[in-house]
Amino acid sequence: MMTEGCSTSIIGIVKVRVLAPAVDSRRPAVESAVSRENARALPSDPPGAHPSRVSAAIQSSRKPPTRSERRPTRGGVARLFLLFEASTFVAAAAIHFGAVLEGYGHRKAGIAETVIAVVLLAGLALTWMRPPWPRRATIGAQAFAVLGVLVGLFTIAVGVGPRTVPDVAYHLGILVVLVLGLTIAVRGGTPSPGARDG
């Protein structure tokens, strides 16, 4: 009895071991046939076809962005200038109203800086309108701000405005930034409303 059971289990093991290599030997042939079929089917597959085929086709067609595509457009740069300029005037107004630092309070300067910040933010908002508003708003807002800074420098020179070193340094620095932003806007760097990046 024991010998019959052992021989049956040995025969079963031998059958499994004999059949397993046959199955394994067919697997590479099947896989290579499937991969050849996928390669042939890729170009003609509709968009809703097999997900792995579509993603493989998309990945192979993607190119890395060129240097010029990674750079922001002139319109995007114009919006960044308006946002940066407005935020610095908000900060300067907060300082002159005594909200941030003590010892630099000057109510009239704070009011003037608030008005300039509002005009710059309005110009930024108008850059999403239809032409010709983006160009007009960008140039007009920055020209107004340049005029306001020149008035501020004049009041400092005649002794009416605040005459601290940070005030003088800020006026000179923001004047350079405003002139640069205005130059970019005049040369055609105004945003188009439908542009993704500006």
pLDDT, position 80: 95
Q: Report the interhelical angle of 74-96 vs 107-126 (nearest 10°).
A: 160
- 69-109, pLDDT tens digit by residue? 555 676 788 899 999 999 999 999 999 999 988 888 999 99
* Mean pLDDT within 29-47: 53
Q: Inform me whether the pLDDT recorded for 64 exceeds 50.
A: yes
| C-alpha to C-alpha distance for 96 and 162, rounded to whole angstroms | 9
Domain boundaries, the chain: 9-61, 70-186
Helices (H), the chain: 2-41, 51-61, 67-70, 74-96, 107-126, 133-158, 165-186
* Mean pLDDT within 160-186: 94
Spatial CB neighbours of 4, under 8 Å, sequence gap ≥ 6: none
Q: What are phi and psi of 124, to 5 degrees?
A: -65, -45
